[in-house]
Structure 1
Amino acid sequence: MIEAHNLDAFYGQSHILHSIDFHLAEGESVALLGRNGAGKSTFLKSLIDAGPTVTGQVNLLGEDLHQIQTHKRAQMGMALVPEDRRIFPMLTVAQNIEIGGHAAGKNNPRYTLDDVVEMFPMLKPLLSRLGYQLSGGQQQMLAIARGIVSHPRLLMLDEPAEGLAPVIVDELADTVNALRKGGTRGMILTEQNVDFARQTTDRLYVLDVGSVVFSGTWPEFDANTDLIDRYLVL
């Protein structure tokens, strides 16, 4: 579905990502693990052209994205749910979701509000509530709902479990797994919560200081017993 070859990313003169090779198949869910500052968020932003200057190659469904602007990438079916959620505080839950629908391309019909509420039932009684009135868990569900309403082919979730209570993390894992069942949608999830990532993805990459230091399956990750201590524990 999406591939990156020899990807480097920069913020000004700061070289953040170094020669990243990455691939994701249709219907696959992949975790990107690493400490704060490892480059996880920058990688997602590099794929959708949301900030860093990028060199190297990024292809979506075989199409080179080098000359394609951010909004066009969204219309092609890419959606990023940012780490800080960016809920519009003075808009209702329903209005926040509706805004996400504007990213849908002509050949990628969006979900209706009813469709989204069926996927996120906890939002149904909150549709008229303003964004600033939501708890952290409710905001995270809304951010993902806003990302999914455009019916994306590729959904990218940046640290979705960060700062949430364990019971909400479990509910979020169930929601994420429901979204990826039985379809061709790909998903990339950045996380520091290894247990959450394990529950919701098929395989993983580990980043450290902007470079891939491991890629493989969860059993292969578990067999490398030093990975957590070397690259994930603060």
Structure 2
Amino acid sequence: MEGAHFLFIDETGVLSRDRRQPFFGLGLLRTADTAALSAELHALLQRARGRIHPRFEFKFTRIGRRSAWVYRELVDLFFALPGLGFKAWVFDKRGPDFDPGRNYGGLWEAQIAYSRRLIESALADGAYGVVIADHVTKPRESQRYFEREVRRHPRVLNALMLDSNATLYVQLADVLLGLVVYDCKVRAGVAASNPVKQEVARHLAERVGVTELCRPHTRREPPYFGVRLVAPSGGAEP
């Protein structure tokens, strides 16, 4: 169908209260044409596997001294392709009223609801989308499947969950989202300082055109890059 986009979704952290993980993040990478992105991602991956490790994957948690160059180039690759778009929603769970399980009838239901709203915002221009999300295990007690719930949106053509190692696009979303949430953690004083990750985060901020990633901002000129900070205050948010 003309106008259909791929929407690649990843998450970081947990929605339950955890002092070690005060933030939960959802990231969405949108593209209508995977051809150029696929070729460039695979070329960078092969160089990384040749220089770092034969089973290398793009993962925020794997940013280190030996691999920092890969992630800087991955950020540059995103900005070299104007047809891409990325949205990050970061949930600050430190507030006393943060209780998505109560608001939505369970944490799994809350994650589905937040994902649906992120998808809705990504399709606000009237486009159609095919959702490909990082696999998250459904609780046995829930009868709600992520894919079926997401397909209820009138412009979502279909949905699929995959392990992130099966698609480089979800891995790209993982890295971009990870850098945004890492900046939030550092500024909140809940993450140990890591000079290498901070340098890559600064590189992303410079490309976006902001001084810090952990603040609401929208870069509308192609490629699109937006961050929304969510601090629920008792109602069904966002």
Provide the TM-score with structure 1 as the length reference.
Answer: 0.31
More strand as a share of residues = 1
Provide the TM-score with structure 2 as the length reference.
Answer: 0.31
